[in-house]
A and B are shown apart, each in its own frame.
Chain A
């Protein structure tokens, strides 16, 4: 196996002055930014800091790596999606992006944290740096709109309903929104630092709790990376079952999100109909995997015992999906045919294709704005690209209507995939073999884990398509196989800034609708 297949990406080492030129080249060639990862090599006896820019270019992942010293050139003018990553690096490592237009602290709020604290540096002790006196270090400065009759509406961090915490600040004149500033990271839990020093299987429990409603797909992205590092090839039937769970999770997410859209336009009857379907799926999840949100159903190289699917379980799943399909068909009919619904969702929260391109959006948001981005097609994993062919689909309009239709389409696609996999599953599963297979896989992964790590460690990336878009993991391990650096990039991290553009000119009453149509995660974003 060549180096790039082993790690999942091709790396080019460049000087930090070449970064802008090289990035321009990739972007003009049709590539887009997937993520930025910074590393502190203090314990690896190399040059201290290292930054890697990951791009999707063609059907491959290309990385530009360089040594920044204590600063590096900002890409925010040629590649606006780099803006947040650069702020994150300034916070977490104290490496400064030069000429950055808006270098406010991102995760470490100036009210709570000393500006000299950089938690992801290896010499940061991990001590809770705030004393009992809760010293106030500074003040966060919101962007301000000046002029006659301008007023601000602050919302959050605690919202009216049962949702996560985040702050939105609208500036308005009359009804139309002139500016929205999103301030997130209230729920910053320090997941990345927490995973450091743990073994790949210990971190699994934390990883599956990064964002509860995308647990399965995020875990799959992690497992792709971890299994690359360990050199494990998962057996065909494990892939089979993993795809069933991945699609099941995408399905219930989409059902819920379509329900939320109905809820926010005041069409409670259909919202509740879909919530009944949602509850049915969750209960089935519980009976199949013994967990409603399918936490902890995977282990490295396999599936945990409680979640193994046999022929009977596969039949249950396929049976319920018939009912789900019926309900979704009714919902689709309403979305497409009732003027009272389309009036409300057409043109609301319009994100132009150019904006989507510049912000490197992913998932439903990208596909509803005319970009055919789907990890399952672009960077195939598991059975995708082999047994399962997904037609690239996109809507051009970029509004709530397009996103709703995209979600319905996705849901039907998931149902199709699960049903066909459930049908072919019994043939793949001679049940007597299961236990012996598992032992063999366990033994193999143990020997591999014991012998494989050469001094200096290994690195790999993993991708998966969640219901929100691409989930990206970068993992590097030290010589003992413990995690040296783990970086997770949630699809929501990429997509949140898009709302700030999509909402402009709309009214505040449209905001919940736009927000729910994208349904981004706060927990995954804040980490």
Chain B
């Protein structure tokens, strides 16, 4: 494989000419200001899926793609709840996931916040009537913010996080 082929691909801006690009950049920089100012330069997020359909996870991983690249604004998804400041919960909180979710929550050091992502995790979940579902999440944990959408788009998630820190 020739080197120029890679170099070209590294420096070729994939996201150029994108209309909403400017908006993400502005929104992200606002978020960065909040994260740097109020949380000492970093906000670590732990995601737990409590029974979603995987669309919310897809949107959250989309936050790390070159279009959004959340990490450059000081936000990072971490592997252990012990490193986390915020717990993101997606899904309708099934009976089988209830204990793992509570364990993850208990392992996050204070101060900690719970943010629920997507309609399933909220009051209007279409699965709430099921025998296997113990949701909504707010019945079990105190939730500081709920992000609507089925699934919420990456832009919505970023702007909702901004509004969370403006509270």
Q: Which residues of A contact B (CB under 8 A)?
A: 109, 111-113, 119, 124, 126-130, 157-158, 160-165, 185-191, 193-194, 205-206, 209-213, 215, 269, 272-273, 275-276, 278-279, 282, 286, 292-293, 295, 330, 334, 337-338, 521-523, 526
In Å, the complex CA distance between A293 and B150 comes to: 9
- Chain A residue at minimal CB-CB distance from B54: A212
User: Across the interface, which residues of A come within 8 angstroms of B6, CB to CB?
Assistant: 269
In Å, the complex CA distance between A295 and B65 comes to: 22
Question: B65, A211: Cβ atoms under 8 Å?
Answer: no
- Chain A residue at minimal CB-CB distance from B135: A189
Question: B96, A338: Cβ atoms under 8 Å?
Answer: no
User: Across the interface, which residues of A come within 8 angstroms of B116, CB to CB?
Assistant: none
In Å, the complex CA distance between A275 and B79 comes to: 21
Question: B62, A279: Cβ atoms under 8 Å?
Answer: yes
Question: B131, A186: Cβ atoms under 8 Å?
Answer: no
Given A158-B100, A162-B47, A164-B49, A293:B131 Cβ within 8 A: no
In Å, the complex CA distance between A188 and B130 comes to: 10
Given A189-B133, A338-B1, A158:B91 Cβ within 8 A: no
Within 8 A of A (CB), among B33-62: 47-62
In Å, the complex CA distance between A293 and B51 comes to: 18
User: Across the interface, which residues of B come within 8 angstroms of A273, CB to CB?
Assistant: 9, 14
Given A158-B48, A161-B77, A522:B133 Cβ within 8 A: no
In Å, the complex CA distance between A187 and B57 comes to: 14
In Å, the complex CA distance between A215 and B130 comes to: 20
In Å, the complex CA distance between A127 and B95 comes to: 13
Min CB–CB distance B135 → chain A (angstroms): 10
Question: A126, B65: Cβ atoms under 8 Å?
Answer: no
Question: A194, B130: Cβ atoms under 8 Å?
Answer: yes
A–B Cβ pairs within 8 angstroms, 15 of them: A163-B57, A188-B95, A188-B96, A189-B94, A189-B133, A206-B126, A212-B53, A212-B54, A212-B151, A269-B10, A273-B14, A279-B67, A292-B153, A293-B58, A295-B150
Min CB–CB distance B116 → chain A (angstroms): 15
In Å, the complex CA distance between A282 and B155 comes to: 13
Mask, B138-163, CB within 8 Å of A = 1, is: 00000000000011010000000000
Question: A293, B151: Cβ atoms under 8 Å?
Answer: yes
Given A164-B49, A269-B10, A205:B126 Cβ within 8 A: yes
Report the interface size for chain B: residues with CB under 8 A from the other chain: 52
Question: A187, B56: Cβ atoms under 8 Å?
Answer: no
User: Across the interface, which residues of B come within 8 angstroms of A188, CB to CB?
Assistant: 51, 94-96, 132
Question: A194, B129: Cβ atoms under 8 Å?
Answer: yes
Q: Which of A162, A190, A272, A330 contacts B66 (CB 8 A)?
A: A272
Given A164-B49, A165-B100, A190:B133 Cβ within 8 A: yes
User: Across the interface, which residues of A come within 8 angstroms of B62, CB to CB?
Assistant: 275, 278-279, 282
User: Across the interface, which residues of B come within 8 angstroms of A210, CB to CB?
Assistant: 53
Question: B131, A162: Cβ atoms under 8 Å?
Answer: no
Number of A-B contacts (CB under 8 A): 153
B134 near A: Cβ within 8 Å? yes
In Å, the complex CA distance between A438 and B57 comes to: 35
User: Across the interface, which residues of A come within 8 angstroms of B137, CB to CB?
Assistant: none
- Chain A residue at minimal CB-CB distance from B133: A189
B92 near A: Cβ within 8 Å? yes
Min CB–CB distance A449 → chain B (angstroms): 22
In Å, the complex CA distance between A521 and B67 comes to: 25
User: Across the interface, which residues of B come within 8 angstroms of A189, CB to CB?
Assistant: 51, 92, 94, 127, 130, 132-133
User: Across the interface, which residues of A come within 8 angstroms of B61, CB to CB?
Assistant: 161-162
Min CB–CB distance A265 → chain B (angstroms): 15
Question: A276, B130: Cβ atoms under 8 Å?
Answer: no
Max chain B CB contacts within 10 Å: which of A129, A158, A193, A206? Answer: A158
Question: B104, A158: Cβ atoms under 8 Å?
Answer: yes
Question: B49, A165: Cβ atoms under 8 Å?
Answer: yes
Min CB–CB distance B156 → chain A (angstroms): 11
Question: B131, A128: Cβ atoms under 8 Å?
Answer: yes
Question: A165, B97: Cβ atoms under 8 Å?
Answer: yes
User: Across the interface, which residues of A come within 8 angstroms of B26, CB to CB?
Assistant: none
Question: B153, A162: Cβ atoms under 8 Å?
Answer: no
